[in-house]
Chains A and B, each alone.
Chain A
């Protein structure tokens, strides 16, 4: 038993089993990590396409991250994240053996896995992590996989080996041409579509990448599924923070998604809503970095 002093000075006692220990930490890109944590209940029910929510500490934000791998027997889950703000920064500073404050999952509707024929997997940046379990399941369902993996440069490519193993062909795209082919994921798609008769595409990555890649799919007449990543709070359908517009209707991505028909998504709305707290987040992050001595004092901008 642990005893923790709550914010209001009232003692809390917690059982060990309520803690979520970090078993493994691996740096997989200059800006990102892969973690393996103990979360037996999440591992027990996880399915491809689902995510979970974590909190780093008592004052922390709830952030959603996609489930990459899970092991029922050892009760662990894997996830990959890139450092972009305060919470992911704090997360990146945790070490093997440390504990996360809260872990809730699995959440969201699992992917609808079926046989399509040839499926194109279009992954941008850390979208590759979210793609991996879906790729496994699609492969198991008998699909032929063609993967197009994109990143800004060689160092930022993640899970290439794992995805390569599942695919009959992989196109690696880098923005700067430091590895593979110079270009974006949508350029890779155009190449692939000349070689393969693509029945369906999965598109996962930053919203802006999904927007343009889906447009390319539409031009080529390829039906597609995307995994949306709006800002979430509870992630259980209670608040409406994650609302997205698909086919003219409002959905809550955390319970109705995160996967939707990409051609129906209102991308501009998603992009607008994703940047809603940009100033606040920047302010919070800079204040935090300044306190840590990473940024010189007095340089941060007011929110």
Chain B
């Protein structure tokens, strides 16, 4: 049963690097160009920017709403099976999840329109991997405890199996436009180039063993389950073939998929910033309103049907002449027939996980030199009341994301402090299903044209990362022009 071991380890280790997709530190941190990626309508400050390829934006996030690595693997002398029983099986619910998201920007460029300085255009490419697995509570209990003993009469929900993951490369182009002195709107179009995708998110059914109406025990199962995959089998086949060119073949296939050679999809982002008054701004954005049409390298696995069995049965006189001694095999065949499992290559659509942000911020503490004083743009030089002039900001943010079992939300309070145009700090306190003690800290440094930022979440957990329910780190380098230099 090495597979069980490996599964547990993989799931838990993935939770170390698992992350929700909330980027509360980056959101509306407009000194960082990558804030455009989570609100196309953020107030843009720069004249142009270019991310340093591959290191302009790297983010990894990991989250677990239930057990942590430390809960199970701490070297505390407690029997491991006892820990699994008490900290995993007895505690975790079917809505607890392990999730992981990572992003890496290939390149990103932004520039202000020469003829339309109110417009800021940006484009680029980034890769993203996102996996979420809900805790398959009933299936885990069935595996650990079985259907017997105290579980006689218990209905195990097969719908607890709920997992989704994908790796996708995204090409994007966005326009950010200041449409008035108080309002900035933005939109971004995306082409998704899928590398692989899998999902098993609409399962239903149950398995139950009860006192039988005829025999002592009677087991019933009804199932409607499916695992959809695209892009997986191609890689699997190459690895399985295991030739001298395996590494090259994998690289070639990966490159082809990255560069629009796999399944494709379309998506849109929208966002806005609106100044209610010179010191108060509200913002909002909707990201990844899109889908991928999976038609290439598709392999789906299905398991459906229903049956009830109480073992081998002989009824006299009906079976008096039935001297067949293959009753056991016939029973197996009947069950197989009632529960067909198969494969197909039907195309399917996978929806991107839609994300929504909203925020309100209050700027105060006049002073310092406006960041955009000489940006050459029309954005922030219109009035002396733009928020860059304020050293401090305080506010709240809301994040919501569509997940397979519903909407996942997070609420954030933040404080931001600017030190001239060189340094800006932002600290956040976030509550969500993963943590009630998530304090984050982000910093943006502008050293001449070189911009560096680093954002880290859940700092209190850094004393023992293995015991963390949530961890996140983002950083990157950009070259930014604030003026015509």
Do A and B actually bind?
Answer: no
Residues on B facing A (Cβ under 8 Å): none
Residues on A facing B (Cβ under 8 Å): none
